[in-house]
Structure 1
Amino acid sequence: MTSAANPQLETERLILRGPSPDDVAPMFEFFKSDHSLFYGGPMTEAEAWRKLTLYAGQWTLCGYGLFSIYRKADMAMVGMAGPYHPIDFPEPEMSWLVVGPEFEGQGLAREACQTVLSHLFKELGWTSVVSYIDTGNIRSQKLAERLGASLDQNAVVPLENCIAYRHRPQSGEGQ
């Protein structure tokens, strides 16, 4: 089921939709792995459950949130991407994660993030969004740059060891 508060987006290779029970097993695997290091992991199943319910609940409370990303070819969960806005963040953060290395290096995260950013700027009218990226997470820094984001030295960064990248609409997008 999709709605204005929980839209479904599609690309040639991906389906992006709000969190559902189908996401629990792949997200538990992600959060208990070392691959989740930059997202607070590895963590216990109870901690992963709290994190996933936070992601799902944000859709209800804010009307936006992280989309679950599925590859159309086999309906494998690739990861999540979208605005994340806990109460202690000064603004929403454009966040993304890939659940495992088998989904890296194929442009899937970039495709999903471009689709979400376009949705935020064109459909929701956002004029910018920040990504807080750990200084050690070079892959995410490079992805932010490929998405057209630039370092924002003036952004308030609520997370230790992170820098801020600012995304803005591309020419004509969301204007």
Structure 2
Amino acid sequence: MPDTEPADDFAGVPDGFERLWTPHRMAYIGGQDKPTDREAGPGCPFCRAPTRSDEDALIVARGEVAFVVLNLYPYNSGHLMVCPYRHVADYTELTEAEVAEVASMTRTAMTVLRTVSGPHGFNLGMNQGDVAGAGIAAHLHQHVVPRWGGDSNFLPIVGRSRALPELLGDTRERLAAAWRDGAKG
């Protein structure tokens, strides 16, 4: 019998390094939850989300023509996306009501995130088209990414991972509660 316990079959070979395992990222890399086509409907995750419960779809708030949802594969804790319900790819194709509500919900998202998480700043943006880096180019979405001083470290560069301190469902509940409680922009 060996002097030490056998290594866990899923942990790899011990080599003195501490590891931060992020196996959930394999789902994203493998294409899970990506659109099955460019059409509106159940093949699009942004069309599918509003048909599910807020908790299951990670929806934080619903408006008349747009909704706010947590990013399933976030850059930072609290990474939100503001999406029109209508399946539209290009910002110039939005109606005036959609432009107004996406803008208003983006402002409110920033206020809610400040109330709940106290970020020092934000990255806001839309990647328009595949060549611009849009992971889901067929359905427009505005990213609202909270940022903190020092939140960028070696993990994304060396480890190709992000350390997120909270489960998405817990983040959704805290943000949704603050949104309901009136943290308006």
Q: Per the shorter chain, which TM-score range? A: 0.3 to 0.5
Higher strand content, 1 or 2 = 1
Give TM-score, length-normalised by structure 2.
Answer: 0.35
- Which gives a bigger RCO, structure 1 or 2 (Cα 8 Å, sep 6+)? 2
Q: Name the larger-Rg structure.
A: 2
